[in-house]
Structures are given as structure tokens and as C-alpha cells.
Amino acid sequence: MEKISIALAQTRPVPGDIKVNAEKTAGYIREAASKGADLVMFAECSLTGYAPERAAELAVSFEDDALQGLRALSAGLGIALCIGYMERSKEGLFIAQELCFGGKSTVYRKTHLGSKEALFFSEGSAFPAAEAPVITGMQLCWESHLPQISAVYRGQGAQLLLFPYASGMSGERCLENWSVHLPARASDNGCFAAACNLLKKEGAPGGGMAVWDAKGKLIAGYSGTDEHLMLCGIGGPLLRETGDDMHSISYFDRVRPELF
């Protein structure tokens, strides 16, 4: 895998104030690009704010002017952009995470909704990986507990797994919670992994960012509850690209799917 620099941005969006949220997002995109990042990742619903009960009012379309502007900015700066929003489309309302790079956008619609989310959103039904700039998959918040999703992306050649969150847990709690299962998503599939949690209002502060290497080792983390940008370098030979003895095994490649 080529070596790249990724930036994670935890922000506190104002629900429904797309202009303010987009301006803040643009500032972090510029900062990430100025520091040499190849990809900048924002949390779940970072553009619209996470407000399921107001989805019909606050959701934006894929063609929204603010989104178009952010795509153009990232393309002009040569940086991949991973951004989340409540999406309105002719198929319904969705929780969407978009990864755009080089003028091409890949949109993942959350396939497994929380109990409250299911009251307001439709479920997505696909797991599109994107090359931005490495092959990348996205799964949202509690979906990180579903190893099957990560495996589907790995089957498409994923080298990086992104886990945008909109959890009310503090950054400290998030890092503690993530340490149980996200290292396994990385190591089982031989992928780098990154998680970023949305900041919310007082009482449910949110926040938290972390990056793991392809063996599940934590290589960067941040647990503060302030708006913050964190950069981390990832890449290098993956186990799937090297030897295949029992000391350096690509677990995914040794699975016998016919048994399952």
C-alpha cells in the first residue's frame, strides 16, 4: 500500500445551518491540505448535524450547493474528502457518507440503522468501496460492530476502513469502546482503520479520533472534546502483499468461504 497522510477532523456542527457548517468544513479541508494530508475525514452527519427527528427538514440533496462547493474545493486542493450528511433523495431519507476524490464521488448510505434512526430514515443496500487515493470502505457508527461489512470491503480490495461516528460518548469513552472491536476490524482484514466522532452539545459532548495500523495497533488517538484536526501517516506493505507463513498471515485470504 502506498504511504499517505490522513487527517481526521472532529467538529461541532450547528444542526441545519449548512452555510456555517460548510464554511467550517472548508477551513479544515484547507488546513489539512496545507499540512500535506491526502485525505481528510469528517464524522457522521458533519455537514447537516445529527438530528434524526429533524431529518425531513434538514436533509440535503446530493446536488446541494454547499456540497458542490466542498467537492470543488477538495478537487482543487488535490485532497480526498470524506463527509457525512442527512441526505434527501427520490428514494427517501438516508444517513449518507460521501468520499470524493479527483472529481468522483462515492456515497455510502447507512445500511444498519439504530432504533431511533429507523423511525426517520430508509436503509441503504450497498457497500461501495472507493479509490481515494487508496481503496477505502466506509461503515457508520455502531455498524463498526458488524465484521461482515468490513469483510465485504476487504473483498473489494480495501486497504483503509473509515468509521465515522455520531455518538454522544465522550472522546475518552469512545477510545475505550473502540479498543475492544476496531483493532479486530483492522487486523482481521489487514487494513488500516480510522474512526472520528461528532462533537455535540453539552450533556452529550461526543468527540474522539483514532487510527490503527493493519495489525490492529493504535498509532494515533485524540480524546479531547474540542474542535480539532489530527494528522497521521499510514501505509507500507500489507500482509496480503508479503509472505504468507503463520507469523505474517493474511487472515482474510485464508478463509474457506464454502464452509460458511
pLDDT tens-digit readout, 153-174: 999 999 999 999 999 899 999 9
Distances (CA, A) of 187 to 215, 219, 241: 4, 13, 14
Task: State residue 168's pLDDT score.
Answer: 86
Task: State residue 183's pLDDT score.
Answer: 98
Residue 101: which H helix or E strand, with range?
Answer: strand 92-101
Q: How many CA atoms lie within 13 A of 225 on its CB side?
A: 15
Q: How many angstroms separate the CA atoms of 245 and 149, rounded?
A: 26
Q: Residue 253: pLDDT band by 50, 70, 90 thresholds?
A: confident
Q: How many angstroms separate the CA atoms of 137 and 106, rounded?
A: 10
- Which of the two residues, 176 and 247, has the higher pLDDT score? 176
**pTM higher than 0.75, yes or no?**
yes
Mean local confidence (pLDDT), 63-82? 97
Considering only CA atoms, give the Rg of the chain. Answer: 17
Average pLDDT of the chain, as a whole number: 94
pLDDT, tens digit, for every residue of 162-219?
999 999 899 999 999 999 999 999 999 999 999 999 998 766 688 999 999 999 999 9
**In this prediction, what percent of the chain has a pLDDT beyond 90?**
86
Mean local confidence (pLDDT), 76-94? 97
Q: How many angstroms separate the CA atoms of 49 and 166, rounded?
A: 9
Residue 248 has pLDDT above 80, yes or no: no
Task: State residue 202's pLDDT score.
Answer: 61
Residue 247 has pLDDT above 90, yes or no: no
Q: Are 26 and 53 in contact (CB under 8 A)?
A: no
Task: State residue 203's pLDDT score.
Answer: 61
Beta strands 192-197 and 104-109: pairing type?
A: unpaired
Residue 91 has pLDDT above 70, yes or no: yes
H helices within 138-207, ranges in order?
A: 147-155, 171-189
Enumerate domains of the chain plus CATH numbers. Answer: 4-259 (3.60.110.10)
Q: How many CA atoms lie within 13 A of 100 on its CB side?
A: 23
Task: State residue 200's pLDDT score.
Answer: 84
How much of the chain is helix, strand and coil, in % rounded to 5? 30, 30, 40
Q: Are 74 and 81 in contact (CB under 8 A)?
A: yes
**In this prediction, what percent of the chain has a pLDDT beyond 70?**
97
Q: How many angstroms separate the CA atoms of 97 and 44, rounded?
A: 7
